[in-house]
Amino acid sequence: MIQWLKLDCEVVGAYRPSFFVGSMLRGVLGHALKRVVCINPNFQCEGCFATDSCLFYDFYEKKNTTHRYRLGIGLKPSSLNFSLYLFEDAIGSLPYVLSAILKAFEEMGVGEEQKKMRIGSITCNGELLYDGNSFANVSSVVPNELEIDTFCQNVILQFTMPLRIKQNNSIAGSTVELHTLVNNIQRRYRILKKLPPEKLGYRVRGAIVESSMKFVETQRYSNRQKSRMNLGGLVGSMRIEGLDKQSYMYFKIGEIIGVGKQTVFGLGSYHILE
């Protein structure tokens, strides 16, 4: 099963977040991470000799890949508090990620005004790792490993962040089929585990008996393309009855790794209510 770390970061300071902060958070963390890890004298990724071993390149510049991290946030937040998930071999990058978090908020600042904030605390898998002054020993951090020893046929999937997923060759705008969800999670899971692609291999059982899913539009500004990009998706809940055990397992995995496109920005986050 999947291994992961979940960092919960408390950001202290007066700041009015926008409706969607995923792009801004990922951007400022990326700038800081590059400052932490870059060893290229010209500070450029194109043609760099170290891309094969560079954490920044892996997290931000590598194309056509499923990244081994994602943000955990909500829409219309009251603060900049956020979570950051690290999956599988990205877990070993924890010291660099922690350094980037502090550098991003306390040295570089956020938003157009580059407002400096303070990191009040960081917990890792529920254990205090940073108290606002000093770090605990990161070598003692033990990754979570998902173990599924329960099964429930009737569940509610509650999507707190837009689900942006392709169905019938376009982004789903109203409903999404169970098979589409399960197949997407299975594919993402196998990539994170560095397993070869494989068809689902069974028929997904279950029915969506009630749904309140609606399309919500969000946007991000791309510095690379110098333009705004739509990141809309489905938010709400769906009630499923008669779910099979294998699909239930994939939904439990998806609760951790996310589902659909742009999970690095926090999209595709959901909770299971049994």
Residue 150 lies in a domain: no
User: Domain check: are 118 and 12 in the same one?
Assistant: yes
Which of 145, 180, 212 is the endpoint of a domain? 145
User: Domain check: are 10 and 136 in the same one?
Assistant: yes
Distance (Å, rounded) from C-alpha 244 to C-alpha 140? 38
SS3 172: coil
- The residue written with tokens 């926090």 in the block is 266
Which of 108, 125, 145 is the endpoint of a domain? 145
Per-residue pLDDT band at 226 (split at 50, 70, 90): low
Residue 69 lies in a domain: yes
- Amino acid letter for position 217: E
Give the model confidence (pLDDT) of 14-54 as tens digits. 888 889 999 999 999 999 999 999 988 888 888 888 888 89
SS3 104: helix
Distance (Å, rounded) from C-alpha 53 to C-alpha 246? 36
Which of 120, 145, 170 is the endpoint of a domain? 145
Cβ atoms of 204 and 247 closer than 8 Å: yes
Backbone angles phi, psi at 211, to 5 degrees: -145, 140
Cβ atoms of 91 and 5 closer than 8 Å: yes
Say which range, 141-150, 170-179, 221-230, has the weakest mean pLDDT.
221-230
Cβ atoms of 119 and 102 closer than 8 Å: yes
222 or 205, which is more confident: 205
Domains in the chain, number: 2
Helix (H) or strand (E) run with residue 83 in it: strand 82-87
Strand partners, 214: 235
User: Domain check: are 139 and 24 in the same one?
Assistant: yes
Give the model confidence (pLDDT) of 107-138 as tens digits. 999 888 888 999 999 999 989 999 999 999 88
Close Cβ partners of 49 (under 8 Å, ≥ 6 residues apart): 40
- Say which CATH number the domain at 251 has: 3.30.70.1900
Angle, CA 271 vertex, CA 122 and CA 149 arms, to 5°:
95
Give the model confidence (pLDDT) of 228-270 as tens digits. 777 889 999 999 999 999 999 999 999 999 999 999 999 999 9
210 or 224, which is more confident: 210
Residue 250, domain extent: 155-273
Q: Strand pairing of 214-216 and 166-167? A: unpaired
Give the model confidence (pLDDT) of 162-221 as tens digits. 999 988 888 888 889 999 999 999 999 999 999 999 999 899 999 999 999 999 988 776
Total residue count of the chain as it appears in this document: 274
Residue 71 lies in a domain: yes
The predicted structure's pLDDT at residue 224: 64
Close Cβ partners of 63 (under 8 Å, ≥ 6 residues apart): none
User: Domain check: are 92 and 191 in the same one?
Assistant: no
User: Domain check: are 160 and 121 in the same one?
Assistant: no
Long-range contacts of 92-99 (CB under 8 A, 24+ apart): 93/55, 94/5, 94/124, 94/138, 94/141, 95/138, 96/33, 96/36, 96/37, 96/55, 97/7, 97/33, 97/69, 98/7, 98/122, 98/129, 98/130, 98/135, 98/138, 99/32, 99/36
The predicted structure's pLDDT at residue 223: 62
Model's pTM, two decimal places?
0.92
Of 122, 140, 27, whose CA–CA distance to 83 is shortest? 122
Q: Is the pLDDT of residue 64 over 90?
A: no
The predicted structure's pLDDT at residue 188: 95
Q: Is the pLDDT of residue 222 over 80?
A: no
